[in-house]
Amino acid sequence: MATAGTLALLAVAALLLVAGLPLLADAQAAAAALPGADECGAPDQADGACHYVPKALRLKLIAIPTILVSSVIGVCLPLFSRSVPALRPDRNLFVVVKAFASGVILATGYMHVLPDSFNNLSSPCLPKKPWSDFPFTAFVAMLAAVFTLMVDSLMLTYYNRNKRDSSSRGEVAAVADHESPDHGHWHGHSHGHGHGHGMEVAKPGDVEATQVQLRRNRVVVQVLEMGIVVHSVVIGLGMGASQNVCTIRPLVAAMCFHQMFEGMGLGGCILQAEYGARMKSVLVFFFSTTTPFGIALGLALTKVYKDNSPTALIVVGLLNAASAGLLHYMALVELLAADFMGPKLQGSVRLQLAAFLAVLLGAGGMSIMAKWA
């Protein structure tokens, strides 16, 4: 299932790039004729003390382990919360903390990723036609949200169908061997109905409902992680390629808090997905290493990568727009709406108000960080 989700979401990036190839070619040719073409193809030029390559390199080398540790701490905190009784998934405090983390993810899409895409695709380094004639950022974000819904629905259908088939085969085997100790509990409940279908009637409905919810939680984790990973690589690449000390210094601190809070949101989802140790380790690894990887990639491509070149602006802008649409859908539909419309929050007005406040605090804090990251 994880492979299917990853491949489906990677297909979005591939389709965006393939569809954008003609636009890239046209943009390169048209950008060469723009009045500021020389500046658009040149590396980031900072004035005075801000442009200091050795110090910028030192800051980026410090940023890699610092952001890595912050990411690991953020995503692992919820995973170890089971040892704290008040933070277990069935407790009210966990609901409030998850609402805070969901607000962080929501603000990441609206306040960090989407504005970056607007800035990239409305840059003066791109030709006005077609980039100024059509809102590509909003269009791609909308398509990404719809595609995420499609992937979410199809993955859940596929997974439920496979589980249903496996369950049916298991029930046939159980009926044939109903005297075995493993099936004694269900067999014992079947006599009260006396219709020969005890295996279907005896199994509590809430068990199946729990399994369906568990599968949904796992789909949410995989799709959410893909959106976060795309954004993390892009922002890391920009930091790694920059030589502006005045930009990098506050960005390092902001990114540490950004990754920690975003990791808390993802970690809460991973906890509810109830994965095994191996899958948890894979998800933690990819989340924690993508931003440092992006920084390292930016360092390696410093001489080649120009963040204000037409190619970079279009590719990064489209990826950011797709990531924003994905994060908007996941935060609003799968995280916030699913919790607020669920029985736990619907059963308590006080808990609802506390969760709303937590969402506003998470989104507000992340929005303030948009000034630097």
State how far the Cα of 41 lies from the Cα of 264, in Å rounded to an integer: 38
pLDDT of residue 348: 93
267 to each of 74, 271, 332, how far by Cα in Å? 7, 6, 17
Structure tokens at 146: 């719809």
Interior/surface letters 192-223, b for 16+ CB within 10 angstroms, e for the rest: eeeeeebbeebbeeeeeeeeeeebbbbbbbbb
pLDDT of residue 86: 72
The DSSP code for 132 is T
Mean pLDDT by groups of 10 residues along the chain of 373 residues:
48 53 49 52 54 86 94 90 76 89 90 91 88 92 92 81 65 49 46 45 62 83 87 87 84 87 87 89 93 92 82 90 91 90 92 96 89 74
Q: Domain extents for the chain?
A: 54-162+208-371
pLDDT of residue 197: 45
- With beta carbons less than 8 A apart as the criterion, state whether 291 and 235 touch: yes
pLDDT of residue 12: 53
State how far the Cα of 168 lies from the Cα of 347, in Å rounded to an integer: 35
pLDDT of residue 81: 77
What is the amino acid identity at position 142? M
Q: pLDDT tens digit string along 239-288?
A: 888 888 888 888 888 889 888 888 888 888 898 888 898 999 999 999 99
User: pTM for this structure?
Assistant: 0.72
Burial class (CB in 10 A: 0-12, 13-18, 19+), 128: exposed
Could you tell me which residues come within 8 angstroms of residue 168 by beta carbon, excluding any fewer than 6 positions away?
Answer: none
pLDDT of residue 184: 45
pLDDT of residue 262: 86
pLDDT of residue 205: 60
pLDDT of residue 14: 54
Helices (H), 177-204: 184-190, 198-202
Would you call 345 helix, strand, or coil by DSSP?
A: helix
pLDDT of residue 5: 47
pLDDT of residue 372: 75
